[in-house]
Chain A
Amino acid sequence: MPVRPTAPRPPVPAAPRRGRAARRRREDLAGYIFLSPWLLGLLGITAIPMLISLYLSFTDYSPLISVTEANWVGLDNYRRMFTADPSYWHAVRVTVTFALIAVPLKLASALGVALLLNKALRGIALFRGLFYLPSLLGGSVALAIVWRSMFNREGAFNSLLSLFGVAGKPWVNDPTWALPTLMLLAIWQFGAPMVIFLAGLKQVPTELYEAASVDGAGAWRQFRHITLPMLSPVIFFNLVLETIHGFQGFTSAFVLSGGTGGPVDSTLMYTLDLYIKGFVELDMGYASAMAWVFLVVVGLITVVLFSTGRFWVHYSDSAEK
């Protein structure tokens, strides 16, 4: 099922037939030459481990034995996952909830602040850097300690709420609120997609805006008809990647919950459950099965995103104007 994200081809400029065929062959060759490092990486470094993990998903492999000693169990891992493991579906629910809420909010914050920062402003470079700082911390242990301290019963967040007369809760230690706290941590790191949005905004040719101003178009019209379409490839990229990363979210959940997915599994993201099954319980065959199910499902979601992208993403390398 080749995914075709491209728009319809532009009309090829008229040229003698022989030249066109030769050009096609040359482009074929050039394509593979440019692709060769990636192909080498794929075959040499990525594909083999992926295929090994696929094989392991049908075995009872544990890291403590060798790959050849693992017993074939067929679909047993998959069966167990779907029917005999309550924590699995729980992890699925947690992950879907997380992705559906945190991803749009993170993207909206990133785009919003990027737009605010795009216009010339005194000290704009400094602002950009400061907004990006949270993303730099990544999944550091230090950050987790900070977040836990801020969002527990005596933390700064409750102090802030009390200024408004709102009673606080022990957010990060409460099974109902631990996941929202995790979502907030993810959204707080919107600096990364923000930087990508900024880069994309910079790529919009300024003369388009100049021409539109001359034609009398206001800020909103300019946004709708210039910024959004020109930015759509980048919006699409961020949407796809943040969705994939949202589903894959591991580090924040790991450090915030101390590796447990707690309290009472309320922050048990799918990949955290996978890590626990594979590395803590040493049931690596089962973890591999979980990974491949993940690949298929998120792959399908990605295909859907690509299909819908055809309708709203505008690429400058296509003939539409």
Chain B
Amino acid sequence: MPFDPRNATPDQGTAFRTSRRTLLAGLAALPLLGAAAACGDDDSGSSGSDKVELSFFWWGAQARADLTEKALALYTSKHPNVTFKKTWQANQGYFDKLATLTAGGNAPDIFQIDDNYISEYASRGVTLDLTPYKESGKLDITKFPESLWKYGEVDGKLAGMAMGENTQGLVWNKTLLDKFKLPSPQTGMTWEAFIDWAATVSKTAKVPGTQDPSAVYQALWVYLRQNGGDLYKDGKLGFDETHINKWFTLWKTARDKGATPTPDIIHEGNATDISKQLVVTGKADTSWVWVNQMPELKKNTKDELGVMAYPGDPSAQWARASMYFSVFRGSPHKDAAVDVLNFLGNDPEAGKILGTDRGLPSNLDVRKLVADTVTDANMKQTITVQNDLGTKFGPSSPTVPPKGHSKVKTELIRIAEEVQYGRQTPEAGAAAFVTAAKAAIGQS
């Protein structure tokens, strides 16, 4: 675990600490004990006749809720002794609620989580270590791409089962390009060539060619990997000021060339909401998202959309877990919960029900099955592109981001915007970002 300066407390004297601990331990006789309450290997039998009710918490829209409920109902029909207490909501407030439930020792047996927080939850001992289940085969990940399931490992322990694969996807408005007889961008084109392409679009179609992705962390991530670095390496930052300076300067040039919109519109597009992406609001021709978000974007516009990898060498991209399912370490029904995970990730029928709503199915066999049966044209295109990109991925893929990753992301947005608004030079911004990122992950 990276050194955290906050733990370096001035020594107050061990005796003082111990006596307070004893006092607090007394109070802790109540369910003030939080996350790690029910440690131990108690379990009330999963494949027996004991009735088990598992609490299940996820975020998403109504569409995902329908699919998930169907899949869970399917499980119950096969294991009648297992029922579910389902809670779902939009992602606004989801992690706030999850943190509150965890603080109260009331975390759900199974919950959805993503790479923003999985390291945090895992390193604090909230998630169940799934490694033993993986080794024994109770949680079968053999059909998952290796880099995909490994993306769920925190400190060498499997903290969550990847529940969908995605990778970086550049989405552009094809209808607009066709209208002005402009070419589409191509996978593998260099960053500079892409910016020139965008500048041409701006001039010809009078719509900025691309959103400025200085603040988009996954774009920076790919760029770093293409230039000998990475976002994180062994729990530390994988980049230094030179990299960031080059990144910010690249996009300053792009802004000067007119390839991007004005800073205020860039700011609008920096929001992570799908509906605010510039490609659908018509304020730029290209947005920087994930491949599996293309069908969602399509629902917000009448125009035709295209999707491809980010510029540069596509081998720098990787199979990222769009989200995970994790089990609460204090759950009284661990075995049952893991069995449900195994079902949702590997069972072909469950896979067909869940479709590509959370990303491409992790299990490659299930993925093929889904790809063959899906009818929606945008979904088909997404699967094709993702699979095609999958063949281009390089051999090494990054590990899941460490604790503090969400702060690194927000600092990137803040500092990139400072540069975008012209309030800071790229060099100063680069220095500031490196300092802030180090502080965020607790690197000295």
Contacts and interface: CB of A to CB of B under 8 A. Distances in A.
Answer yes or no: A and B touching, Cβ < 8 Å. Answer: yes
Contacts of B262: 153, 170
Interface string B15-57: 0010011001101100011111100000000000000000000
A173 interface: yes
Interface stretch (A57-65, A217-225, A312-320): A57-65
B3 interface: no
A72 B417 contact: no
Contacts of B37: 66
Given A170-B262, A262-B414, A279-B95, A68 B102 contact: no
Give the size category of B's interface with A: 35 or more
A279 B120 CA distance: 12
Contacts of B270: 262
B28 A65 contact: no
Interface in A124-159: 141, 152-153
Contacts of A262: 267, 270, 413-414, 417
Contact of A64 (B7, B120, B268, B407): B120
A263 B17 CA distance: 43
A138 B265 CA distance: 27
Interface in B322-353: none
A264 B9 contact: no
B22 to A, nearest CB: 10
Contacts of B410: 260, 276, 280
Interface string A105-116: 000000000000
A66 B273 contact: no
A81 B273 CA distance: 31
A293 interface: no
B402 to A, nearest CB: 13
Contacts of A280: 95, 406-407, 410
A72 B99 contact: no
B423 interface: yes
B105 interface: yes
B196 interface: no
A276 B407 CA distance: 9
A259 to B, nearest CB: 8
Interface residues of B, dominant DSSP:
helix
B27 A153 contact: no
Contacts of A281: 404, 406-407
A137 to B, nearest CB: 17
Contact of A175 (B28, B36, B96, B421): B421
A192 interface: no
A69 interface: yes
Nearest to A276: B410
Contacts of B414: 260, 262, 264-265
Give the size category of A's interface with B: 35 or more
A73 B121 CA distance: 22
Interface in A67-98: 67-69, 71-74, 76, 80
Given A63-B103, A66-B36, A260 B9 contact: no
B265 A173 contact: yes
Given A64-B124, A170-B265, A279 B99 contact: yes
A60 B9 CA distance: 10
Contacts of B120: 64, 282
Contacts of B28: 66-68
Nearest to B6: A60
A317 to B, nearest CB: 43
Interface centre among B6, B20, B126, B407 (most CB of A within 10 A): B6
Contact of A66 (B35, B263, B271): B35
Nearest to B411: A87
B245 to A, nearest CB: 19
A67 B267 contact: no
B418 interface: yes
A71 B264 CA distance: 43
A205 interface: no
B62 interface: no
A174 B9 contact: no
Interface centre among A60, A80, A174, A260 (most CB of B within 10 A): A260
A263 B421 contact: yes
A66 B9 contact: no
B140 to A, nearest CB: 29
A72 B19 CA distance: 12
A170 B126 contact: no
Nearest to A171: B264
A258 interface: yes
A263 B9 contact: no
B76 interface: no
Interface in B384-438: 404, 406-407, 410, 413-414, 417-418, 421, 423
A251 to B, nearest CB: 12
A236 B426 CA distance: 50
Given A153-B264, A174-B264, A68 B100 contact: no
B10 interface: yes
A170 B265 CA distance: 8
B12 interface: yes
Contact of A68 (B10, B33, B263): B33
A69 B413 contact: no
A281 B7 CA distance: 16
A63 B184 CA distance: 48
A153 B261 CA distance: 12
Interface in A264-301: 264-265, 276, 279-284
Interface centre among A60, A62, A64, A279 (most CB of B within 10 A): A64
Given A64-B102, A66-B34, A276-B410, 18 more contacts: A60-B9, A64-B34, A64-B103, A65-B34, A66-B35, A66-B105, A68-B24, A68-B25, A69-B36, A72-B17, A72-B20, A74-B9, A175-B421, A262-B417, A264-B423, A279-B95, A280-B406, A281-B404
Q: Closest 8 CB pairs between A and B?
A: A66-B34, A170-B264, A173-B264, A64-B124, A63-B103, A63-B99, A68-B28, A173-B267
9 contacts: A64-B102, A66-B37, A68-B27, A73-B6, A73-B9, A80-B6, A153-B262, A264-B421, A279-B96
Interface of B: 6-7, 9-10, 12, 17, 20-21, 24-25, 27-28, 32-37, 92, 95-96, 99-100, 102-103, 105, 120-121, 124-126, 262-265, 267-268, 270-271, 273, 404, 406-407, 410, 413-414, 417-418, 421, 423
